[in-house]
Chain A
Amino acid sequence: MPFFEAVRLALATIRVQKLKSFFTALGVCIGVMFLIAVVSIVDGMGRYMEEDLVGKLIAVNSFELRHRPNINIGDVDDATWREYARRGRILESDVQPVVDALPAGTRWSMYSEASLMVESQYSRPRRAQITAVGGEYFEIKRLDVTAGRLFTPGEISQGSSVVVIGPDLMKRLFPTVDALGRQVKIGGKFYTVVGIGESQGSAFGMSFDNYVYAPFRSPVHRLLNAQSNAIDAVVVQTEAAEALVEAQESVRAVMRGRHQLRPSQKDDFSLQTADTALEFWNKIRGYLVLAGVALPAFGLVVGAIVIMNIMLVAVAERTHEIGIRKALGAKRRDIMIQFLIEASTLSTFGAALGIAAGAGLALLIREVSPMPTYVAPWSIGVGVLIGAGVGILSGVYPASRASLLDPVVALRQE
């Protein structure tokens, strides 16, 4: 029997028995719905972690030399915290030896940051993320201005009192006037706004656009670290991803030398890449995906059993029809295919409902909660395949029973 003929027949059966078909396919529908929803949540969080959160905090092909990691996703046990607390800071004097060890063409920038109050004469003081940065910082972070300009090399080297501020902060500090050329006050000292930076978006409802960048050697530097010769981090970016590990090893060797570590001792500083920050997330994601697949799988097994039973009933009810078809020349294969296609059409119909419901659920979650869900196209494809697959699996036994019926016996049955 031609494929489309069989599908048409199966669809006609579904149309005639709407309610029965719906309940038959409900198990598959629920299974696929949860699969899509869970995969969407996991996928959405994964994208969010990789592209937004970590991507914004750590630039591509880059790592940061810090005394301890600043992105800790997940649990860090007490002993680790105590060890972090004992670590010495990265010093300004460490920077030059580290930079000397880097291959040519590698970008780097030291920086320090803190959350401080910023004032202007047009607004009350606002809290902002203040970062004192080196020359290549903006290039590494791929950050540009939408108005004004970035710092000149002269301003960087002289430590001029100039700042680039984020769009949200600009709106708060200068609600009515153009911010460019006006002054903000941080820690009692005035800084001239030379540029408005690009929006970096937000995550979990937290804006990334309340920022102030100033040249590293500007007076703001003293506000950021209690220990005046310490810095927060050196960010290093290589041209190609392959050079990243080599650069890390060079930095590691220099720092171990400066801290006089014996080979048996662990590093007392961290080299943080996007990958190390994502490591924990990847571990969690493994469990989530496992749970997200295992739980719907139970639904699908139940759905498959229901479909198998309904198909066995259908074969029993339609024994006479099978007899007629066989008398008219249907081969075993024809009958087998007819029932297999009917089972998988039923199941794919359930899966389609499940995909719609699952995608709807994912969108609903995105609307009403901060969970950034994302319905991946591949998960829809997988949903359809699962539908067809469950149908075929659950249809094999009933279909083979139908195909093996003796035409004489089948015709006799009314």
Chain B
Amino acid sequence: MTNETDEAPLSTTAERQIVVGAAGQTPGKDWVIVTRGLKREYDMGGEIVRALRGVNLAVRRNEYVAIMGPSGSGKSTLMNLIGCLDTPNEGEYWLNGQLVSSMKDDDLARVRNKEIGFVFQTFNLLPRASALHNVELPLVYAGISSAERKERAFEALKSVKLGDRVHHRPNELSGGQRQRVAIARALVNRPSILLADEPTGNLDSATSEEIMNVFESLADTGQTVIMVTHEPDIAAHARRVVVLRDGLIASDDRRERFAAKMGGGH
């Protein structure tokens, strides 16, 4: 862990050239995410909005990265691309050694199921299903048998200290508990990356701190975590902070440098 945080962030080093390499070449196996010249444009009623204008980003396995930026910087677009919910107009995206940028719908669904655990700002739990069933869902789509699903979902809920809340519905749980259910759901299929989109956006500061602690300990156990946020305080929890501005990476710093830049840090 220390090893990683001591390294200079990739987008600013010469090493990036080696990692990213030539287009079409498979990145090394240590790199869970490698993007090359990622572009995404939207047609908003005739007007072309260039949300991403060529993003090169490489994330090593076990890293804890925050992607920051003001609204309109393209961070949501980047999150959708990293999360395989959307595909770029141009550029390559390698996730865990697979070129996902040119995949079709159903292959993307399979990759999302296997490689990515989502944690959303609004939790996105199914309101009519119990905590257990919500956590089971990714395993349902992975085609895992009911008995094993129940067992693994229960284990995942226990790991976020909700072993006594498995049969509660989301509306019977507090915000922090809901987000922990979402984290359990994100982790239940053992994804390559945990992808969180403003995970504390709907939580008070005490609960936010609690969720950040969960992320911290996950990162400590070697889980790759990528968190999209517009709050510097939250971003400062990550060990590497990538700042987007106008669809491009504006800075890519280790936590300490980012904190110094922000003026004193947290």
Contacts and interface: CB of A to CB of B under 8 A. Distances in A.
Interface in A326-382: 326-334
Given A333-B106, A407-B85, A411-B85, A328 B141 contact: yes
A5 B122 CA distance: 26
Interface residues of B, number: 27
Nearest to A410: B85
Given A329-B114, A332-B106, A12 B128 contact: yes
B141 A327 contact: no
Contacts, number: 65
B173 to A, nearest CB: 16
Interface string A393-414: 0000000000000111001001
Contacts of A407: 85-86
B252 to A, nearest CB: 25
A91 interface: no
B27 interface: no
A407 B85 CA distance: 6
A245 B95 CA distance: 81
Contacts of B137: 324-325, 328
Contacts of A327: 83, 85, 112, 118, 124
A117 B143 CA distance: 82
Contacts of B80: 408
A205 interface: no
Please report whether the interface of chain A is mostly helix, strand, loop or mixed according to DSSP. Answer: helix
Contacts of A333: 106
Contacts of B109: 326, 329-332, 334
Given A12-B128, A408-B80, A411-B124, A329 B86 contact: no
Nearest to B127: A321
A290 interface: no
A243 interface: no
A1 B112 contact: no
A344 to B, nearest CB: 20
Nearest to B125: A324
Interface string A70-100: 0000000000000000000000000000000
A1 B128 contact: no
Given A1-B140, A334-B141, A329 B113 contact: yes
Contacts of A328: 112-113, 118, 137-138, 141, 185
A16 interface: yes
A105 interface: no
A329 B138 contact: yes
Contacts of A329: 109-110, 112-114, 138, 141-142, 189
B206 to A, nearest CB: 26
B220 interface: no
B49 interface: no
B1 interface: no
B124 A332 contact: no
A16 to B, nearest CB: 7
Interface in B74-127: 80, 83, 85-86, 105-106, 109-110, 112-114, 118, 120, 122, 124-126
21 contacts: A1-B140, A2-B143, A2-B146, A12-B128, A321-B126, A323-B124, A325-B137, A327-B118, A328-B112, A328-B113, A329-B109, A329-B110, A329-B138, A329-B142, A329-B189, A330-B109, A331-B106, A331-B110, A332-B109, A334-B109, A407-B86
Given A328-B112, A328-B185, A334-B141, 14 more contacts: A1-B140, A1-B141, A324-B124, A324-B125, A326-B112, A328-B137, A329-B189, A331-B141, A333-B106, A334-B109, A407-B86, A408-B86, A411-B85, A411-B120
Interface of A: 1-2, 5, 12, 16, 320-321, 323-334, 406-408, 411, 414
Interface of B: 80, 83, 85-86, 105-106, 109-110, 112-114, 118, 120, 122, 124-126, 128, 137-138, 140-143, 146, 185, 189
